[in-house]
Structure 1
Amino acid sequence: MQLAQSAIFLAAAVVVVPLFKRLGLGSVLGYLAAGAAIGPSGLGLVEHVEDTLHVAEFGVVLLLFVIGLELQPKRLWEMRAGVFGLGSAQVAVTSLLLAAGAWLLGLPPAGALVIGFALSLSSTAFVLQVLGERLELTSPHGRASFKILLFQDLAAIPVLAAIPLLTGSGEGSEATQGPWMSLAIAAAVIAGLVLAGRVLLRPLFRWVLSTRVNELSSAWALLVVIGTALLMDLIHLEAALGAFLAGVLLADSEYRHELEADIEPFKGLLLGLFFVAVGMSADLGVIAAKPLPVLTIVLGLVTVKALALLAIGRLAKMPLGSAASLAIALSQGGEFAFVLFGVVKTAGLVTGEVIDLLVVAVTLSMMATPLLLIARDRITARRAAQNRREFDAIDEENPVIIAGFGRFGQIVGRVLRMTRIPFTALEVDTTQVDFLRRFGNEIYYGDAARVDLLRAAKADKARLIVVAIDDVEASMRTVETVRRNFPALRIVARARNRPHAFRLMAHGAHVIVRETFLSSLEAARRSLEELGVTPSDAREYVKTFREHDERVLNEQYAIRHDEAALIASAKKFSADLERLFDADARQRPR
């Protein structure tokens, strides 16, 4: 039966997630939809949601461990102002607003306070995955989101310990002693974990690696994560927080990248399963029976959190766009709310009927976040289109067109100008155009992938176009447009890397220049000279390497879609090159 359920999970993900990705809705929303479809309220293919959620939560633990690996302790310390400043403001303001709303709707004060705090927390796994897919983790709102999420995880510790005080359980000092003792134990365990990480983890990992058994490396990485998670669970703290601390402690070790590579496959699979389980937990029966209350709670939750975060972002001097993105990214409820809902239900602070509504509302708020981000993107694109100025009129005819006048294109242009060869420079970035014009450069604002603009630049009469565009896809669009409409025009194209070079070759670029290749060879030549190699020998070595690499590039083009053949070719390339240098060394006089 377990095998059958595993097949159901995998089949649902394989069918639904690519469909949602193709529709531009993102993989996370696809996982949630897949879970809702196969869960008890959907097709009923999987019944035991709680069991699945407990297993899948390990994906969140692995995610926090990997994030911790990216944060060195020094950098984490430097973030403390943002973590405790932005984070405490968000949790305090949102908790009070939501608690006040819950109290006005009839919940008792203690229950309203805990529910307000539970709903103030966002989903760490959900937000980081969504922003990561959109490459927004390093943006201003991405960094601010991470700081707030980290504080939320930390804030959950004292709240869990303080819930017995709110329920009034216990007698006299005993009721007070329990929570404070829990906090003291938590602090002691975390301090012990930090000390053990400093003293034990690296030597043990070095010992494991000395066995040269790859499986042991993966086993050790998983053991570190599981061990810290179990330790946190024993003292009733978030397992993900322990994994995050373990990751931070190993962030500045020489084994960081190896650990990340070992964990990554498990993290991705279990994280996907976690989102499927969250989707399964949505009780569609509650939505059908009470659509208006559910919708009201979802709208209230998302609106209150978004407005509070927008205000906090603006007070923190974030640009309006970044503050709005922060507000959307953290507007949902989080998975930790499910834990707190269970606690307050057991304590008798809130009825089971209310908890059912809140669980569905939190799940739906998660589903709303990717849709809100898509809406943000479309609004931003529409405003950008409205504010976009008209392309410049081009009233000159030159033998050379330079598409893209950034660092690369400017050097080409300066050499051409020095040799008195006239050219027409096109640049699509208005900021770059205005900046260069202040320094007296003649440059036209326009998109070189537009055939009408190329015709205005007299591409049909030019001899050469230099495609110096930084963006790979924009570069490819330009090359395709030129080859389709101006087949006689010679193309010299800038390639960012080998795959880009292969694509340019496939689309008929005549000359391909890898942007860092020549500068890397020059650095290699200078390094050889610094190490005592004679200048003539250094030049010869670099020349040999360049000729061999360019020959291999052309050979690899034919097998570019066969990864195994490419790997074999790369290994053969290294071996052939070593033989070439060995043979050359034997021929040189000693």
Structure 2
Amino acid sequence: MSLLLQIIFLLIATLILVPLAKRYSSTTVLGYLIAGLLLGSQGLGVIDDQQLIQPIMYLGMIMLMFFAGFAFRPQKLWIERRSIIKNSGLALAVLSLLFSSLSFALIHDLFSSILIGCMLAFASTNIVQQLLQQKQQLNTSFGQASLASLQFQIFVTVVLIALFPLLEDTASTRHGIAYFAAIIATISGLFLASRYIVRPAFRYLVHRKSIELIPALGLFVVLSVILLMEVLNIHVLISAFLAGLLLAETEFKTEVARVIEPFKDIAIGLFFLAIGLSISLVPLYQSPIFIFIAILVLVLVKALVIGTIYYFQHRRMENSLLVAIALAQCGELSLILFKLAEDEQLLSKDLLQPMFLIVVGSMLLTPLLYWLMHSKILPTIQKKAPITAAEVPQHPIVIVGFGRFGQVIGRALHAQGLKFSVIDSNQPDAEFIEQYGHYFLDADVTQVENLRAAGIEYCKLLILAIDDVEDCMNLARHLRLNYPDLNLFVRARDRHHAHLLDSLGIQHVWRETYASSLEMAAQALIETGLSATDAHAQIERFRTEDQRLLEQQHGSHQDDDSVETYPNAIAELEYLFENTKTLSQDRLNSNQNEQSDANSSNETT
């Protein structure tokens, strides 16, 4: 079969399977793996040309390490080193020891067992990142803990790659102290080059208004680093990692990321595609029970060790389970190390073939475990016994919604020594406020029974600070009907939301970002030449006028208060500009002249 036809088959399989995998497993990595398995010699047998598969694999490995370097944060790793070593470092050490012991019990080869045990301790960086991103959990505490662990694992992987030449049976110029001295000197030289050559080069392009040449400069940096490493006989994967890190350490990282981000998924997918094409299913046919048991043991042992260590460090059961499931698989770091071990002839092919299957099997199992954890296990754990009347807090203030808006309110109340209750289902880590005498309820704010559990019967002031308009309106209606005497402060997302709240007779409404926007506008007026007194007077004038327009708009939309029929943002903005009263032209010119005179006076002085 011609090379062009094989590439076309690869593209067809990728275009079909990757979107399906993203839809049903929330990750594209498995789509590339399945596409490779389907087209490989163990599947349909469409592609079995090693002269095609091997270049794809090595290119994928290089791209994977490049993007790992680009996302690597050495400063953050150093700042959080104690926490990372206590969590990730300890977990890696324990897992390596356990898997080495299990391997030695099976193959009776100490050296090979140690290698296998260390390599099986790593997780899949791309699967975890994609799952967290799809579930919008990157900024959660367990998401950040998982990412920090992955960063540490990437660092350890680079160190192991650097150690591989020392494990060969033959001696070469790369071995020994000279080899490590070359690596350290090269890394130091690269960071000096970044400061005194790469960054000035990027600034030069920006100053010359040649931003379109940034991709060319980035490519030049990458190729130069790889060439330098090749001259020094340092592994190409280390050079790819350092090249990505070098580009990430410049202030123009955003521009570089904008160029390379569209190619990230397919570039990394090449490696998984090649793994699927080259993997052998013979061990699965010969001993399927052993392979399945090995996959389950691998996942269970990793989940148990990681979850236990994390729990004893943080005492949070839910987060411990989530971190354990997220990092319970093996992944591309293990596959890269196994592939290098094969190239260096450190492990036999008979050992590596079942290892590849076990790693891939754990990856395929991860989305299912992730779904079970979120849909079955966590809801069961989160079910709490009904709160008795004696346990209901009697705080006079209840804050519903504890995001960026509600947190500022809570801090201000806490600073005054006032006690309050909080209801929020998206901030489980906020329960620490209970140690200060407040009450936190991790529950759905739209459920009426949760309001009672938070002590609404004793509440005198309820602050409704959730950002979802429909949930806010439903809850506001319920409160107005069932608690008409309750003093209600409500956060409005925008002007239309304020209209809807006003139609319910709610008097105390605050539009988010409104006060800070006016404060910045006042400072802008001062910068244009107005005195502080005049600037604040003009802002008060604008506030009064804006309130008049808000009431006027409310009257025109009273008949139809649905979100869907409200004018779009641009139409509303056009209406506001048209109806906002401005200064007369003479007064405007006078203010501008005063500003010019003030500037001239400053220049003379």
TM-score > 0.5 by shorter chain: yes
Q: 2:64 aligns with which of 37, 60, 64?
A: 60
For residues 234 and 12 of structure 2, what CA distance do their matches in structure 1 show? 35
Contact 2:17 2:32 in 1 (8 A): no
Structure 1 residues 404 and 338 mapped into 2: Cα distance closer, same or farther (>3 Å)? closer
Contact 2:88 2:152 in 1 (8 A): yes
For residues 78 and 152 of structure 2, what CA distance do their matches in structure 1 show? 13
Deviations along 1:217-265, whole A, 9 cap, x unmatched?
Answer: 3443455456546655761143553145325533xx3x34434434433
Counterpart in 1 of 2:470?
476
- Give the TM-score taking structure 2 as reference length: 0.70
SS at match of 2:328: coil
Deviations along 1:276-302, whole A, 9 cap, x unmatched?
Answer: 555566655653443212112212322
For residues 148 and 391 of structure 1, what CA distance do their matches in structure 2 show? 43
| In the alignment, structure 1 residue 287 sits paired with structure 2 residue 297 | no
For residues 82 and 338 of structure 2, what CA distance do their matches in structure 1 show? 30
Contact 1:403 1:467 in 2 (8 A): yes
Structure 1 residues 128 and 341 mapped into 2: Cα distance closer, same or farther (>3 Å)? same
5+ long unaligned stretches in structure 2: 413-419, 455-460, 595-605
Structure 1 residues 4 and 516 mapped into 2: Cα distance closer, same or farther (>3 Å)? same
Give 1:109-124 correspondences, 5 Å limit: 109-124=110-125
Counterpart in 2 of 1:535?
533
For residues 87 and 35 of structure 2, what CA distance do their matches in structure 1 show? 33
Structure 1 residues 265 and 104 mapped into 2: Cα distance closer, same or farther (>3 Å)? same
Counterpart in 2 of 1:521?
518
For residues 514 and 107 of structure 2, what CA distance do their matches in structure 1 show? 68
5+ long unaligned stretches in structure 1: 395-400, 415-424, 458-465
For residues 215 and 500 of structure 2, what CA distance do their matches in structure 1 show? 39
Point out the more displaced range, 188-197 or 332-341: 332-341
Counterpart in 2 of 1:382?
380
Task: Tell me which amino acid in the other structure corresponds to 1:235.
Answer: I
SS at match of 1:337: helix
Counterpart in 1 of 2:599?
none
Deviations along 1:88-121, whole A, 9 cap, x unmatched?
Answer: 4333332232122212212522222222222222
Structure 1 residues 77 and 330 mapped into 2: Cα distance closer, same or farther (>3 Å)? same
| In the alignment, structure 1 residue 204 sits paired with structure 2 residue 208 | no
Give 1:177-326 correspondences, 5 Å limit: 178-225=175-222, 227-228=224-225, 235-236=234-235, 237-239=237-239, 241-243=241-243, 245-246=245-246, 249-250=249-250, 253=251, 255-271=252-268, 283=280, 286-314=283-311, 316=313, 319-326=316-323
Deviations along 1:325-344, whole A, 9 cap, x unmatched?
Answer: 33333222232333332343
Q: 2:360 aligns with which of 355, 363, 376?
A: 363
Task: Tell me which amino acid in the other structure corresponds to 2:183.
Answer: A
For residues 462 and 265 of structure 2, what CA distance do their matches in structure 1 show? 38
Question: 1:520 Cα deviation (Å)?
Answer: 2.6
Counterpart in 1 of 2:369?
372
Structure 1 residues 177 and 242 mapped into 2: Cα distance closer, same or farther (>3 Å)? closer
Percent identity over paired residues: 23
SS at match of 2:107: coil
Contact 1:161 1:182 in 2 (8 A): no
Contact 1:228 1:246 in 2 (8 A): no
Deviations along 1:135-159, whole A, 9 cap, x unmatched?
Answer: 4444444444444433433333454
Contact 1:426 1:447 in 2 (8 A): no
Deviations along 1:11-53, whole A, 9 cap, x unmatched?
Answer: 33234423x1xxxx42346635753674424556666554444
| In the alignment, structure 1 residue 404 sits paired with structure 2 residue 400 | yes
Give 1:84-95 correspondences, 5 Å limit: 84=85, 86-95=87-96
Contact 1:467 1:478 in 2 (8 A): no
Contact 2:491 2:512 in 1 (8 A): yes
Task: Tell me which amino acid in the other structure corresponds to 1:200.
Answer: I
Structure 1 residues 587 and 67 mapped into 2: Cα distance closer, same or farther (>3 Å)? same
Counterpart in 1 of 2:423?
428
- Give the TM-score taking structure 1 as reference length: 0.71
Task: Tell me which amino acid in the other structure corresponds to 1:379.
Answer: I
Contact 2:526 2:532 in 1 (8 A): yes
For residues 470 and 578 of structure 1, what CA distance do their matches in structure 2 show? 29
Structure 1 residues 472 and 368 mapped into 2: Cα distance closer, same or farther (>3 Å)? farther
Give 1:539-558 correspondences, 5 Å limit: 539-540=537-538, 543-544=541-542
Deviations along 1:383-418, whole A, 9 cap, x unmatched?
Answer: 112346479999xxxxxx998276769989x9xxxx
Counterpart in 2 of 1:351?
348
For residues 291 and 239 of structure 1, what CA distance do their matches in structure 2 show? 39
SS at match of 1:120: coil
Counterpart in 2 of 1:586?
589
For residues 409 and 143 of structure 1, what CA distance do their matches in structure 2 show? 20
Contact 1:306 1:327 in 2 (8 A): yes
SS at match of 2:330: coil
Structure 1 residues 33 and 90 mapped into 2: Cα distance closer, same or farther (>3 Å)? same
| In the alignment, structure 1 residue 11 sits paired with structure 2 residue 13 | no
Counterpart in 2 of 1:81?
82
| In the alignment, structure 1 residue 26 sits paired with structure 2 residue 34 | no
Contact 2:492 2:498 in 1 (8 A): no
For residues 433 and 83 of structure 1, what CA distance do their matches in structure 2 show? 22
For residues 62 and 164 of structure 2, what CA distance do their matches in structure 1 show? 25
Question: 1:203 Cα deviation (Å)?
Answer: 0.8
Q: How many residues align?
A: 547
For residues 229 and 499 of structure 2, what CA distance do their matches in structure 1 show? 54
For residues 311 and 398 of structure 2, what CA distance do their matches in structure 1 show? 41
Deviations along 1:414-451, whole A, 9 cap, x unmatched?
Answer: 9xxxxxxxxxx996359889969968x9x999966347
Structure 1 residues 272 and 180 mapped into 2: Cα distance closer, same or farther (>3 Å)? same
Counterpart in 1 of 2:106?
105
Contact 2:165 2:174 in 1 (8 A): no
Question: 1:528 Cα deviation (Å)?
Answer: 3.9
SS at match of 2:175: helix
RMSD: 5.4
Deviations along 1:163-219, whole A, 9 cap, x unmatched?
Answer: 455453x3xxx4697244332222121111111112112111111223434432344
Task: Tell me which amino acid in the other structure corresponds to 1:203.
Answer: P
Contact 2:14 2:31 in 1 (8 A): no
Structure 1 residues 230 and 403 mapped into 2: Cα distance closer, same or farther (>3 Å)? same
SS at match of 1:242: helix
Structure 1 residues 188 and 480 mapped into 2: Cα distance closer, same or farther (>3 Å)? same
